[in-house]
Amino acid sequence: MEAISKKIKSSNLKVTPQRIAIYKALYETKSHPTAEMLYNDLKDNYPTMSIATVYKTLTAFKKAKLIQELNLNDSSFHYDINTDFHSHLICTCCKSIFDYDFSVFSEISEKIENETGFCVEHTQLYFYGKCGECQKQGNN
């Protein structure tokens, strides 16, 4: 709790119950939720929470680089508390999103810079397919 407040404060953002709740929800889930999902999760415990606040908070967190935004082939953005370099495996069947650590990142970025002169600052690497579970169950 204290740690979350510090994180938020150190980005020059005011610490409010809503912001703590949103940060905490993202911190405690692996599901990479959308704004709507977060709102639905939180509104029971925070009856006055509005969807606009969720959007505004996510935008503020994103600008402060406390979180990252994922653009999957989906109608809404998803959010990830993990801003370290990693990629995402997205199951087209059950819609689960898995983190995948990618050790060769710096090599790839360097290769791109050497070959093209393009300086890589941030990546979004999405792998779409079927997770083990869905393959096992023969789902489509």
Contact between 22 and a second copy by CB under 8 A: the answer reads no
CA-based radius of gyration for the chain:
17
**60-82: burial string, b at 16+ Cβ within 10 Å, e else:** bbeeeebbbebebeeeebbbbbe
Residue 38 C-beta: closest distance to DNA, Å = 10
Contact between 128 and a second copy by CB under 8 A: the answer reads yes
Among 26, 35, 38, 70, binds DNA (CB under 7 A): 35
Whether residue 94 contacts residue 134, with contact meaning beta carbons closer than 8 Å, is answered with yes
Contact between 45 and a second copy by CB under 8 A: the answer reads no
Contact between 72 and a second copy by CB under 8 A: the answer reads yes
The interface region with a second copy, picked from 2-10, 35-43, 49-57, 65-73 by CB under 8 A, is 65-73
> x/- contact string, 46-75, with DNA (CB under 7 A)?
x-xxxxxx-xxx-xx--------------x
Contact between 40 and DNA by CB under 7 A: the answer reads no
**Tokens (6 digits) for 42:** 């939180």
Interstrand relation of 78-80 and 87-91 (parallel, antiparallel or unpaired): unpaired
- Give the binding-site size for DNA (rule: CB under 7 A): 26
Whether residue 60 contacts residue 69, with contact meaning beta carbons closer than 8 Å, is answered with no
d(CA 98, CA 126): 10
List, in order, residues 6 or more apart from 108 with CB less than 8 Å away. Answer: none
Residues binding DNA (CB under 7 A): 9, 13-19, 34-36, 46, 48-53, 55-57, 59-60, 75-77
Residues binding a second copy (CB under 8 A): 69, 71-73, 89, 91-92, 98, 100, 104, 108-109, 112, 116-132, 135
